[in-house]
């Protein structure tokens, strides 16, 4: 029984929620690009994604034992968008459709 209790403790999830500001996420097309960038994370890591075009934010619920907040911000940056205090990757931004740059 002790062994079972110890084994189950190894797979404990620490679930956290936070928001990422994405100033250029103003259209459904931009929203889709951001969502696709976040889909690279396993569903055991990224549990929920909510986007709000009005406030230009992404609200994430994630397992903080398996990923850090910066991982999600970096994924958005590599998709060509600013994320909180991180500027977009210039090469990736240049590849976005003109109206999203």
- Which CATH number do you get for residue 87? 3.30.70.100
State the total domains in the chain.
1
Could you tell me the pTM of the whole model? Answer: 0.86
Is 31 a domain residue? yes
* Res. 2 pLDDT band, cuts 50 70 90: very low
Cβ contact 15:63 at 8 Å:
yes
Q: Does the pLDDT at position 22 exceed 90?
A: yes
| CA pair distance 99, 54, nearest whole angstrom | 17
Is 29 a domain residue? yes
| CA pair distance 88, 101, nearest whole angstrom | 10
Average pLDDT over residues 43-58: 96
Domain containing residue 58: 14-100
């Amino acid at each position: 029984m002790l062994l079972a209790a110890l084994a189950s403790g190894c797979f404990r999830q620490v679930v956290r929620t936070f928001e990422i500001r994405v100033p250029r996420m103003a259209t459904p097309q931009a929203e889709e690009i951001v969502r696709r960038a976040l889909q690279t994370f396993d569903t055991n890591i990224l549990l929920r994604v909510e986007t709000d075009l009005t406030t230009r934010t992404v609200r994430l619920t994630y397992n903080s034992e398996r990923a850090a907040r910066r991982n999600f911000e970096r994924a958005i940056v590599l998709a060509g968008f600013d994320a909180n205090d991180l500027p977009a990757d210039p090469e990736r931004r240049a590849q976005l459709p003109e109206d999203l740059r």
